[in-house]
Structure 1
Amino acid sequence: MVTEDTMQMPWLFKKIDHIQLILFRIFFGLLALLECWGAIVTGWVKETFVDPNFTFPFFGFEWTQFLLGDIMYLLFVVLGLSGLCIAIGYRYRVSILLFSLGWSLVYFMQKSNYNNHYYLVMLIAWFMVFMPANRALSLDVRRGRTKGQQSMFNWQRYLFVTQLLIVYTFAGIAKLYPGWYNGQYLHLRLSDSSTWYRTHFSWSHFADLLSSENFARLLSWLGIGFDLLVIPLLLWKPTRTITFIAALLFHIFNSITLHIGIFPYFALALAIFCFPPELIRKRFGQYLTNNPYRVVSSPPRPLSKYLLLLLASYVLWQLYLPLRHHLIAGDVLWTEEGHRLAWRMMLRRKSGQITFYVVNKETGKKEQIRLNEYVMPHQLHLVSTAPDAIWQFAQRLAKEYKQRGQVVSVFAQSMVSVNGSPYYPFIDPTVDLAATSWRYFSHQHWILDAPEEIYKKNTPIPEYFLPQIRAY
């Protein structure tokens, strides 16, 4: 029989020092500021949201297309300012809610630059909405907008830890396939970095190391081990320090060689929750406040059991998303079904070519679509390799022709390569994509089966495909 006491699990509602949360709030805000304003400076906002006539949004977010254009500059300016306000604790509740809503909107507006790291930022931002992260070292406390405190609940700390464990564990499990552990993918990715360093800095020895197949194979196995073990080893006192040093070196190396934005530093900032709060207070507390932490005991809240059910539901959902591809026929590395929101990070390199045809149902006239008249160069990779984008584009074509007074069928001829393999047929060219519905929880019948030998060969990629290739 489940009693109220067992449902409450008192250790989760024990009060602990909140210094980790306060420090993370500062790091989070500053990284959000750098990411959002950096996206403007580097031209990412222009390329992704200003220049395109449309993006490939997540299903259900097609309504966001009216925001495309110069207004997106304003949105990212506001998001950056929100990050600054979060860091200094100024009107924190409004700032973090504004950032969470805005970042979620930006994330779901497009898939051309899909990134698991952006997804993690979104989840953590929503965590922070419900955290007492402005109760110390904040302008809100200094100006009397909120009451200062030194504690948070244990579950708040372990929510971050659990999320990190899920991210790294499923990232490691996803790497357990031939294209990763034989070094095939990483060799292709590091070869690009090798060329970049050889060209820009003349670092020939470093470039030679990056282009080595043996080095790529070694890093591939180290990557699997790191992902599967880093969080457990950070939580275990005897291995905590050496593991954090290893994580520091690992993430800095990834930042230098793979150019993956703020994620290495964001992951390191989150690692603070793996340390005991008293240790963080001992190391940093003297620089932050003169007031020692005092434990204030309080009975569990009456609604603790409902909160526990809510947290359990969230964790189960986070476990389902990375596992859902097992419920769908086909190899997820080929079909992409169940790929997103599943921590399948930097697993393979896909490239492809695709040709769309529309056929007028009344006259039978067949017309080839010129993709460069519809999509931007950075969108070409997505629409040639991702089935959901292929389907969305076909639906868009059918809608556009209908507005012209024509009812058409839409067909696609597509070839795809994985990790430098030969190119294989990807989409059934006989299926009218405009007449199909998207199956959210099952396999799309018009995606052809993956060839068995696709991960056993490593052939050069034809030069005329190179402009379409991106790590995805």
Structure 2
Amino acid sequence: MLKRAREEAFKPVDLASLVFLRVAFGLLLAGYQLRALLHGTIERNYVKTIFHFHYFGFEWLRPLPGRGMLWLDGVMVVAAVLLAVGAAYRAAALVFACCFTFQFLIDEAFFINHNYLICLLGFIFAAIPAHRACSVDAWLRPGLRSRTVPAWCLWLVRFQVAVPYVYGAIAKMNGDWLLHGEPMGFYLYMNRSNAVLKHLVYLPGMKFVFAWCGMLFDLLVVPATLWRKTRLLAFAALLYFHVSNSFMFHIGVFPWLMISATTIFWDPAWPRKLLPATLFPESDAPPTPERFRKPILVALALHAAIQLIVPFRHWFYPGDVNWHEQARHFSWHMMLRHKETLIRFRAHDPNSHTDAFINPNTFLNSWQVSQMKKIPDRIHQFARFLGDVLSFGKPKRVEVRVDAYVGLNGRTPERIVDPSVDLGAEPRRWGPAEWILPLATAIPDAQMPAPESETPDASDSMYSD
């Protein structure tokens, strides 16, 4: 069986669908980064910020000084365009992937699942020869031209695109989503002015229809798109799902990226039916040398193992991951929680025996504040930062304690961190944090608010998954 799999991995397959995805990925990401640059997002989030939240193990990482982050974004725009047209393709893909990943790792408060996917796809493009056709490189180097690539290239991309869908479905298999229809009920209510949804929001059970359909879509879209008989229906559902998500949640490039990426499950030669035959060479790629085959298969197996195992690491943490948020990143948990929050940071100076409340907005921008107060680890990081700043030049360290209340998916707000613990002095450790209080409140059987009710504050919604 392993021998057969090894043989299948290096059989030639048409590269036309990979070429399409290369072009779509490059152009979408060039536009994504250019928009961030022109709208001031890069300057606001990476140049003018005082404090950055860190991924565990990357506390040492800092933004480039001065206007370096703006130049970095410009480099990404150029690299993405070069990737799309296949000019200096390998170098362009690697430069884009490294730069995007560097920016991604600087501030954990800006974590979004689709940015993680972009990092992965960027490095995958650097590893596969998707420039053997319809590229500047192939035009300049005729010996590079080919209509095929080894099958592992296609299946690696298919695997990576499938992971967010499948694990997104698994994450939705929880009581809040399936049994209570939350936070889908909240999301529908927040979009009640939408021309289509306004007729559906107040229908009984509609939140359950959307919740269950969302889970089933994620679970079935990949096999339904791979199977020719259901492909057209699956793609129609895909278009509706992602376009409606784009209008409901304003989640940037993600819907359009996934619409483009999901075409990788079609017949690999499908773009040839739409484009002139002269754009694609007729020769096959030379077979992969035997000495390279084993290292390639080992690397593929290692990558697959990481992608399959890492999303489940939160199972080693007691309690509801949507509450404590530990080990939640890189698990493809998307749009699964809405949190109402109230937080106060209390500083006690043992040197002067005085107390003060600290306003987070003094050190954080509005987005960082909204994302910090929902997640205990970010609360902890900021408390440690306050402890360092307020203790500077003093013989005794200033103590920082936190009163933080969180209401998860319509529950009554309750304390999420132990207010007696000096979080400013608490070390950041790998593993479950004892100062995070367990979720004690059951989700209520809440009814949809009446149409005349005031619009709830959406500033704390977790649209950033």
State whether TM-score is above 0.5.
Answer: yes
One of 189, 192, 206 as aligned partner of 1:191: 189
Structure 2 equivalent of residue 424 of structure 1: 414
Contact 1:187 1:213 survives alignment (8 Å): no
Contact 1:352 1:414 survives alignment (8 Å): yes
How far apart, in 2, do the equivalents of 1:57 and 1:117 lie?
18
Residue 351 of structure 2 is aligned to residue 393 of structure 1: no
Contact 1:380 1:468 survives alignment (8 Å): no
Aligned ranges for residues 87-106 of structure 1 at < 5 Å?
87-106=84-103
Contact 1:350 1:471 survives alignment (8 Å): no
Contact 1:414 1:427 survives alignment (8 Å): yes
Structure 2 letter corresponding to 1:105: F
Larger displacement relative to structure 2 (364-373 or 27-36): 364-373
Residue 207 of structure 2 is aligned to residue 209 of structure 1: no
Structure 1 letter corresponding to 2:227: W
Structure 2 letter corresponding to 1:316: A
Structure 1 letter corresponding to 2:49: P
Contact 2:337 2:408 survives alignment (8 Å): yes
1:287 offset after TM fit, Å?
5.4
How far apart, in 1, do the equivalents of 2:343 and 2:278 lie?
57
How far apart, in 2, do the equivalents of 1:466 and 1:262 lie?
21
Structure 1 equivalent of residue 435 of structure 2: 446
Aligned ranges for residues 43-54 of structure 1 at < 5 Å?
43-54=40-51
Structure 1 equivalent of residue 121 of structure 2: 124
SS for the counterpart of 1:471 is coil
Structure 2 letter corresponding to 1:243: A
Residue 376 of structure 2 is aligned to residue 384 of structure 1: no
How far apart, in 1, do the equivalents of 2:280 and 2:376 lie?
57
One of 347, 359, 366 as aligned partner of 1:358: 347
Structure 2 equivalent of residue 228 of structure 1: 219
1:431 offset after TM fit, Å?
1.0
Mind listing any 5+ residue stretches in structure 2 that lack a counterpart?
A: none
State the Cα deviation string for residues 317-356 of structure 1 (Å, max 9, x = none).
Answer: 1112211111111210100012111000111111211111
1:455 offset after TM fit, Å?
5.8
Aligned ranges for residues 15-414 of structure 1 at < 5 Å?
15-67=12-64, 70-144=67-141, 147-181=144-178, 182-195=180-193, 197=194, 203=195, 206-210=197-201, 212=203, 214-278=205-269, 280=270, 282-286=272-276, 289=279, 291=281, 293-295=282-284, 298=287, 301-405=290-394, 406-414=396-404
State the Cα deviation string for residues 421-471 of structure 1 (Å, max 9, x = none).
Answer: 21111100011213322232x211000010141365579899997544443
How far apart, in 2, do the equivalents of 1:459 and 1:428 lie?
32
Contact 2:190 2:455 survives alignment (8 Å): no
1:128 offset after TM fit, Å?
0.5
State the Cα deviation string for residues 286-336 of structure 1 (Å, max 9, x = none).
Answer: 356264x45567366223223212211111111122111111112101000
How far apart, in 1, do the equivalents of 2:462 and 2:285 lie?
53
Structure 1 equivalent of residue 405 of structure 2: 415
State the Cα deviation string for residues 221-248 of structure 1 (Å, max 9, x = none).
Answer: 1101100011011112222222122212
- Closer/same/farther in 2, CA of residues 402 and 21 from structure 1, 3 Å limit: same
Give TM-score, length-normalised by structure 2: 0.91
Contact 1:190 1:211 survives alignment (8 Å): no
How far apart, in 2, do the equivalents of 1:88 and 1:26 lie?
7
State the Cα deviation string for residues 56-109 of structure 1 (Å, max 9, x = none).
Answer: 132333344342664322222221121111111122122111110111011111
Quick check: which one's helix share is greater? 1
1:256 offset after TM fit, Å?
2.3
State the Cα deviation string for residues 374-431 of structure 1 (Å, max 9, x = none).
Answer: 2111111222111111111112112223333251222111000112321111100011
SS for the counterpart of 2:373 is helix
- Closer/same/farther in 2, CA of residues 37 and 211 from structure 1, 3 Å limit: farther
Structure 2 letter corresponding to 1:222: C
The number of residues matched between the two structures is 459
Contact 2:30 2:81 survives alignment (8 Å): yes
Structure 2 equivalent of residue 200 of structure 1: none
State the Cα deviation string for residues 99-124 of structure 1 (Å, max 9, x = none).
Answer: 10111011111122321011111110
How far apart, in 2, do the equivalents of 1:299 and 1:106 lie?
35
Mind listing any 5+ residue stretches in structure 1 that lack a counterpart?
A: 198-202
The root-mean-square deviation of aligned C-alpha atoms, in Å, is 2.6
1:35 offset after TM fit, Å?
0.5
Seq. identity, %: 28
